[in-house]
Structure 1
Amino acid sequence: MERPCLSRRHALLLPASAAGLGTLAACGPGDEGFGDAQPLRADDGGVSLDDVPENESTLVNFGGEQPFVLLVRGTGEDITAYSGYCTHNGCALSQKQDELDCPCHGSKFDSSNGEVLVGPATRQLPEVSVVVEEGLVRRAG
């Protein structure tokens, strides 16, 4: 009786197949979430200042290239903005309470100032220029 044999070629394909399945599982539906809430969507005019709570941070989708921006509001029109993308590999960040999490490699950022809390990212989030005009927050430029 001839026993089944695993050829060298098939044996070499097994790790690649397992890695491929692991990658697909990691990219499954629902894994792209945005933490506690969906980003606030800005229309062509911007986002209403009233929609960004005082003394809190809000992830906003301004549309276009690199649309996600973290708005950090103090009081009144005091607004600072940071990129909504991880400085490690450029993945879109999700907001979870007082931090931003990178779903790709696990970096975490402080949502009040863009500082790295947990790596592999080593650089804080870069600032983004925004302006407040007529009660609307817009990207500058």
Structure 2
Amino acid sequence: MERPCLSRRHALLIPATAAGLGGLAACAPEDQGFGTAEPLRGQDDTIPLSEIPEQASTLVNFGGQEPFVLLVRGTGEDVVGYSGYCTHNGCALRQEEAELDCPCHGSRFDAATGDVLAGPATRQLPTVEVAVEGDVVRRVR
């Protein structure tokens, strides 16, 4: 009897290998998040307050370097900062309207409060200290 060119053992490895490679690809930070929103890029550790819309959340890249920060602005100088990374596995979040989505494992966060809307993340986004100084928002390090 002639042996088949593909043994059962090797045939069973194909789906497992494909699943493993797919899992690795899902964890790769391929687009740095942001979804449909382009991050605002600040100079050094500041960004003009006028570029942060009122009653909205905006992903910001201070000084062109990571980490990304989610700025939530109420009215006037009411600005709060949150981490732009998922608390589950540290992936950059994508902004989709009023929520932030993790492209790695599907966690979702409220863009106004940083609260978890859907897991696997269980912790809300940590706050990032920011201060309004005159006409700029400065990241406090």
Same fold? TM cut 0.5: yes
Q: Corresponding residue for 2:80? A: 80
TM value normalised by structure 2: 0.84
Q: Corresponding residue for 1:110? A: 110
Q: Corresponding residue for 1:121? A: 121
Deviations 1:59-87 (A, max 9, x none): 101244x4211101111111111111111
**Equivalent runs, 1:30-45 vs 2, <5 Å:** 32-45=32-45
TM value normalised by structure 1: 0.84
CA contact (8 A) 1:49 1:136 kept: yes
- CA shift, 1:111, in A, is 0.5
5+ unaligned residues in a row in structure 2: which ranges?
none
- CA shift, 1:135, in A, is 1.0
User: Using a 3 Å threshold, how does the CA distance of structure 1 residues 45 and 102 change in structure 2: closer, same or farther?
Assistant: closer
Amino acid at match of 1:138: R
Q: Corresponding residue for 1:51? A: 51
Matched position secondary structure for 1:14: helix
Amino acid at match of 1:53: P
Q: Corresponding residue for 2:138? A: 138
- CA shift, 1:2, in A, is 2.0
- CA shift, 1:43, in A, is 1.2
Amino acid at match of 1:94: R
Distance 2:110 2:45 in 1: 28
- CA shift, 1:27, in A, is 6.7
Matched position secondary structure for 1:22: helix
Aligned residues: 140
2:37 equivalent to 1:22: no
Q: Corresponding residue for 1:10? A: 10
Deviations 1:83-131 (A, max 9, x none): 1111111111010000000001101100111011111111111111011
5+ unaligned residues in a row in structure 1: which ranges?
none
Indicate the RMSD between aligned Cα atoms, in angstroms. 2.5
CA contact (8 A) 2:33 2:93 kept: no
